[in-house]
Amino acid sequence: MTRFSANLGFLWAELPLPDAIRAAKAAGFDAVECHWPYDQDRAAVRSALNETRLPMLGLNTRRGDVAAGENGLSALPGREADARAAIDEAIDWAVALGVPNIHVMAGFASGEKAHDAFVANLAYACSQAAPKGLTILIEPLNGYDAPGYFLSTTTQAEALIAQVGAENLKLMFDCYHVQLSEGDLTNRLKRLLPIIGHIQFAGVPARGRPDVGEVHYPFVFEQIAALGHTAPLGAEYKPGGSTEATLGWMGKT
């Protein structure tokens, strides 16, 4: 039976993170994950995780100056100090909360210098995370939602993972982003499974509930299970209102 993780960056986003964790437990999720927990009371988040016995599977590094339009720091040439401070912060939170995966966000950039900066910062992240048993994730974002984001395809991510050469660097395969950028979901999942660290999903193209749109997720979930992937899949979709009102898909898989 497929297990699911609630991405609390979108689901129950109106609630403080500890209450969102409790809501995910009440709704029947097997795990949770988040985007940026850094303005939350860490002790309260830890308490909610302990209370619900839900694992938190992942969190993101900070985006940077959001007001200035930044969406990650690690591929920005000249911002290495900021990028590595964000990585160190994420590792500190991950250790404190028992989170195994950190998504290192690349940011809006292009060109050889951006590539070199991202590789160097990923190598740093992996070296800092490895002694703590943590995995570093990179995630391609589609060009509709994040035009100009440095990492946009699974092919690019695969090459970066090979270049960095760290055992704890993996791909975050978000079916929503991959479908919009590249398509061919199930064949890509099969080919890339050895380097996949986490799988997410949302309805395409609106990023809403997964039972609405062009992707038939029951089939995709069956294929993922057939590949032997048993970790919870991340529901990272925008509910557009009450999260509870969108959860009917959980009974159909």
Residues involved in catalysis = 139, 236
The region, left, alpha or beta by phi > 0 then psi within -120 to 50, assigned to residue 245 is alpha
Distance CA 158, CA 87 (A): 21
Distance CA 237, CA 155 (A): 24
Distance CA 240, CA 13 (A): 11
